[in-house]
Amino acid sequence: MGRLGLGLACLLALGLGGCKPRAGKPLPTPPSSLSLVAVGDILMHQDVQLAARLDPGGFPALWADLVPLFKGADFAFANLESPVAPTMGQPGQPFQFNAPDTLPAALRASGFTVLATANNHAFDQGAKGVRETLERLRAQRLTAVGTGEDRGVAETLQILERQGLRVAFLGFTDLFNLDLNRRATEPWVRKLDLEPALQAVREARARADLVVVSVHWGNEYQHQPTRRQRDIASALVAGGCDLILGHHPHVLQPVEFMEAGGRRALVAFSLGNFISNQDRMYRADQFPVAGGDNRDGAALKVRFEQKVGADGRRGLELAEALVEPLWTENNWGAPASRREIRVIRVAAAEARVRAELDRLSDPKDGLKELPDEALRRNAILEKQEYLRTLILRRRRVAEVVGEAFVSR
């Protein structure tokens, strides 16, 4: 019988239960995993709002480089350093913020899922501003941690589920510009008191596979955490948290592994600013490197995988932790009608500028792109200076958060 006849006989036999294919080894089930991307302070300075109004893409255009990163994660986190209370509040002003009603939808469309709202600006628009902010965030299915229409809501454990795994988020602030916590039945911002915080972390540990704690703390513009920050972080780790996301200093602080109470967790003491109008006058060729620290940011990318311990119990373990340097471009000094503020991913920008320089410097390609020799020379000089800025900022981020965490 030829190959064709054998094949037909086999096909016929399959219908009669013969010529059964060999059973291969079952493919291993991939481990259940969770990914989270976290950035720092979303500051609603007036020029940031102006830049959003001027751009046809609105707020999402101001951080368009980051949208694929946010949408690709199970959770995307930031500290919302402003009420969103255009109805109940007053127009924002220096040191007393208010965001427009378009912001929550823009954040959701960008991929954000969890926002810290317990911070020193939470009461900038009073107790009514807290309530309106929560209403607007919930309308866009954004989870706010650390504030509530009353104390009970502010202190309710937020548990979100992905991939069949439960993640608990808690939010606290160690600082208030204005503390309007009066009665437990009124809008409330959760204060960082250590013993109640530890009790909340223990409860979360008992109910969730992963515990994430957001803390607004530290000293502004200082790159090193205080003794208080370290002591609190150690206690929270021992109590059961897996990840601490810090913010407030407006500059970056170290990312570290911390061991306490027989447990190990990742602590980002400060993720710096995500977007702001701070250090707007900085130029790398005119200022020392520290002059741009408020424009440095970090996207902390973590991935947890489900593991089976020696005792047979399943748990989540940190499988990956990387920091991607960010930089806020700011064209301060340009006419108000052209105001542009954008957050970029430094590594991608470096690669793009290097490719542009290669083309412009090539005798053939450069001539095609810019036939005028003087214009081409000026373009090369501008791009070289921009590349120098990107390299300086990437090195600065690595120096502060820790070389071991910075992705290359």
DSSP 268-314: ES-BBEEE-STTTT--TTTS-GGGGGGGEEEEEEEEEEEEE-TTS-E
Measured CA to CA, the distance from residue 234 to residue 263 in angstroms comes to 10
| pLDDT one-digit tens code per residue, 56-79 | 999 999 999 999 999 999 999 999
Residue where a domain terminates, one of 330, 359, 388: 330
For residues 196 and 240, membership in a common domain is answered with yes
pLDDT at position 12, please? 38
Residue 29 has pLDDT above 80, yes or no: no
Handedness of CA 156, 162, 167, 170 (dihedral sign): negative
Cα separation, 332 vs 341, whole angstroms: 8
> What's residue 27's pLDDT?
55
Sequence-distant (6+) residues with CB within 8 A of 42 are 78, 79, 80, 81, 82, 107, 274, 275
* Same domain membership, residue 284 and residue 373: no
Task: Using CA atoms of 334, 338, 341, 347 in order, give the dihedral in degrees to the nearest 10.
Answer: -90
Shared-domain flag, residues 174 and 311: yes
The pLDDT value recorded for residue 26 is 59
Q: Are residues 231 and 374 in the same domain?
A: no
Same domain, 44 and 163: yes
**pLDDT at 181 (0 to 100):** 98
343 assigned to some structural domain: no
Rounded mean pLDDT, 160-169: 94
End-to-end CA distance of the chain: 61
107 is a domain residue: yes
Give yes or no for residue 340 having a pLDDT over 50: yes
**In sequence order, what are the residues at sequence separation of 6 or more whose Cβ sits closer than 8 angstroms to the Cβ of residue 82?**
42, 43, 44, 92, 97, 98, 99, 121, 124
Q: In the chain, what percentage of residues exceed pLDDT 70?
A: 90
Residue 16: the pLDDT is 39
pLDDT value for 167: 97
**β-pair partners for 343:** 328
* Of 34, 3, 11, residue with least CA distance to 243: 34
Task: Indicate whether 221 and 111 sit together in one domain.
Answer: yes
Spatial distance between the Cα atoms of 121 and 111, rounded to a whole number of angstroms:
23
**How would residue 345 be classed by pLDDT, with cut points 50, 70 and 90?**
very high
* CA-derived radius of gyration, the chain: 25
In a domain, 256, yes or no: yes
Q: Are residues 288 and 383 in the same domain?
A: no
Give yes or no: residues 189 and 291 share one domain: yes
Q: What is the dihedral of CA 76, 81, 85, 88, to 10 degrees?
A: 150
391 and 248 assigned to the same domain: no
Same domain, 374 and 298: no
Residue in 212, 229, 249, 220 with CA at minimum distance from that of residue 41:
249
Higher per-residue pLDDT: 162 or 27? 162
Residue 312 has pLDDT above 70, yes or no: no
Residue-number span of the structural domain to which 357 is assigned: 348-400
**How many independent structural domains does the chain possess?**
2
What pLDDT sits at residue 367? 73
Instruction: Band the pLDDT of 9: cuts 50, 70, 90.
Output: very low
Q: Model-level pTM greater than 0.75?
A: yes
- Residue 408: band (very low, low, confident or very high) from pLDDT cuts 50, 70, 90: low
The whole-angstrom separation of Cα 278 and Cα 292 is: 9
401/255 Cα distance (integer angstroms): 5
Tell me 250's DSSP state: S
Per-residue pLDDT at 111 exceeds 50: yes
